[in-house]
Structure 1
Amino acid sequence: MQPEAHTSYAAAFAPPLLDPDGDVPAAVTGPNGKSAVKRYDVYRNNVTVSLIEALAAIYPAVQRLTGPDFFRAMARFHIRETPPTSPLLFDYGRDFPGFIARYEHARSLPWLADVARIERAWLDAYHAADHPPLSPTALAAVAPDRLANLVFTVHPATRVVRSSFAAVTIFAANRIGESSDRIDASTPEDALITRPEFDVVVQRLPPGGAVFLTCLMSGCTLAEAAAAATEASQDFELATNIAGLIEAGAFTSLRPGDQK
């Protein structure tokens, strides 16, 4: 088969795979040129099942919260709406949290999409580039009068997920198989996700911590980030937050910022 013909065949073969009501491409035939509807339908089913299983592997806490049957039905609708664009299965499902937020039948679980966002961030952190985390002693070596102007380099695995619900607690309980029935889901929680070495870390950020870290991630100085966090939360504590982030491995280095 010539390259042009192969490309044309693939272009005709692929689109109906995720459309259960789509017609079998005319170019797909069996022996002696006979129709290959049944063979194509088997392949179509296998593709859908593989993508559902990929989503289940990426979002195990979401599946535990909804139950397998609900999850598979929800995943099937997502697959039809958002076909994969990458040959890497672990890269699939980035739009799944947003789909969950819009999914009518998941409205009784308003925190489910945020749990999914944490799970997606967990996987991205797992596959992020390796880099030695900032030493806890590095900050102590900086002269006090230069602390305010420090700029932190964020670890490639570091992510922040903000939620109006107790998404971090619900995520943690359902990743290890515990019940989340007694969790007060209405309590807002923000998540830090990173991977300083081999294991992904997911933990709740203290008051103002999400604003503080987000500012540092955008290149703000320590003083600028602290000011933004204090404005966002009167309970923000600079020492607690910066120590916790360094201990978690959220940064790789620090440097003086540009003088203004």
Structure 2
Amino acid sequence: MSATFQSAFAAGLFGTTPAPAGLMAWNTPTPERRYGVYRNNVTASLTAALASRFPAAENIVGPDFFRAMARAFIAAHPPSSPVLLAYGDDLPDFVAGFAPARELAYLPDVMRLEIARGRAYHAADISPLDPAALAAIDPARLGALVFTPHPALSVLSSPYPVVTIWAMNAGERPLAPIDVRQSEHALIARPHLAVEVIELSPGGAVFFHRLAAGATLASAAESAMSGHADFDLSDNLAVLLRSGAFAAISQDKTDEDPDHA
């Protein structure tokens, strides 16, 4: 079987083009019909895979709408790998430009939260930071600490109440009226077996974003406080240790305290 025919066969599975020329089947005079069945099965399987990754999003729009949206996505973005674990990572961006979902402006961020939860679930098993390790640090050197993110860590900031919407559609909270103009921020972590979604304050989101990017504790706290006067460092340090969001600590290499050389 030539590479050209294989390419045509594969390309036809994700669109509405006719079956590739030269298609044959040993047990039917109409291989095009068999090809159509196979194409439908492929699309149905990929749609099911997407639904399994985005159950809250499917619950928001309903199975029929989600199925139609998934089919449009599959036609435009066929999988590039036989491993479907990451298939759909670009679905939120697709949905952001999907005209029938225009009124659900929060939907892409709900999907991004679901992606973060999936990544956390499959992240490497690494022990989270032991609170005792932080307690053992000289208080004078705490500001120069750099935190190594746990592989499961993600921080998501949204102009919409993404945590609340996800939780209501994932069965984590009862349905209730919400203000879709309210921004929310989420820390996603898996310190042990269960994935956790923790709502952060705006300043807390800045703090965790900066720490995850490699900023020192002092620099991250300063960034959080500069734009959010109500930022509470003690509360956010408690979240840091309780959530298992980080795996290790080290001293910033620019720290040149001669008493701790």
Q: Same fold (TM over 0.5)?
A: yes
Output the CA distance in 1 between the equivalents of 2:172 and 2:11: 38
Cα deviation for residue 184 of structure 1 reads 2.3
Superposition TM-score, scaled by structure 2 size:
0.93
Counterparts of 1:160-171 in structure 2, within 5 Å, are: 160-171=155-166
Which amino acid letter does the alignment assign opposite residue 12 of structure 1?
A
Output the CA distance in 1 between the equivalents of 2:116 and 2:159: 17
**What secondary structure sits across from 1:29 in the alignment?**
coil
* Equivalent residues of 2:184, 2:202 under 8 A apart: no
Cα deviation for residue 215 of structure 1 reads 1.0
Give the corresponding residue for 1:15: 11
* Equivalent residues of 1:153, 1:251 under 8 A apart: yes
Cα deviation for residue 151 of structure 1 reads 0.3
Cα deviation for residue 236 of structure 1 reads 1.3
**What secondary structure sits across from 1:208 in the alignment?**
helix
Give the corresponding residue for 1:182: 177
Give the corresponding residue for 1:207: 202
Question: Percentage identity across aligned positions?
Answer: 46
Give the corresponding residue for 1:113: 108
Give the corresponding residue for 1:88: 83
Which residue of the other structure, out of 135, 142, 154, is the alignment partner of 1:147? 142
Which amino acid letter does the alignment assign opposite residue 147 of structure 2?
F
Which amino acid letter does the alignment assign opposite residue 143 of structure 2?
A
Output the CA distance in 2 between the equivalents of 1:237 and 1:218: 20
**What secondary structure sits across from 1:253 in the alignment?**
strand
Superposition TM-score, scaled by structure 1 size:
0.93
Which residue of the other structure, out of 143, 152, 156, is the alignment partner of 2:151? 156
**What secondary structure sits across from 1:153 in the alignment?**
strand
Cα deviation for residue 196 of structure 1 reads 1.0
* Structure 1 stretches lacking a partner, 5+ long: none
Give the corresponding residue for 1:47: 42
Q: Deviations over 1:4-58 (max 9, x none)?
A: x364442231111010x20211132123894411000000000000111111100
Which amino acid letter does the alignment assign opposite residue 217 of structure 1?
A
Give the corresponding residue for 2:124: 129
Give the corresponding residue for 1:244: 239
Output the CA distance in 1 between the equivalents of 2:152 and 2:32: 45
**What secondary structure sits across from 1:137 in the alignment?**
helix
Output the CA distance in 2 between the equivalents of 1:141 and 1:167: 37
Output the CA distance in 1 between the equivalents of 2:8 and 2:134: 59
Q: Rate the CA distance shift 1:247–1:32 in 2: closer, same or farther, 3 A.
A: closer
Which amino acid letter does the alignment assign opposite residue 140 of structure 2?
D
**What secondary structure sits across from 1:27 in the alignment?**
coil
* Equivalent residues of 1:216, 1:222 under 8 A apart: yes
* Equivalent residues of 1:12, 1:27 under 8 A apart: no
Output the CA distance in 1 between the equivalents of 2:48 and 2:36: 18
Q: Rate the CA distance shift 1:233–1:41 in 2: closer, same or farther, 3 A.
A: same
Runs of 4+ in 1 over 3 A off after TM superposition: 5-9, 32-35, 177-181
Q: Deviations over 1:172-204 (max 9, x none)?
A: 111117554412222110111111111111111
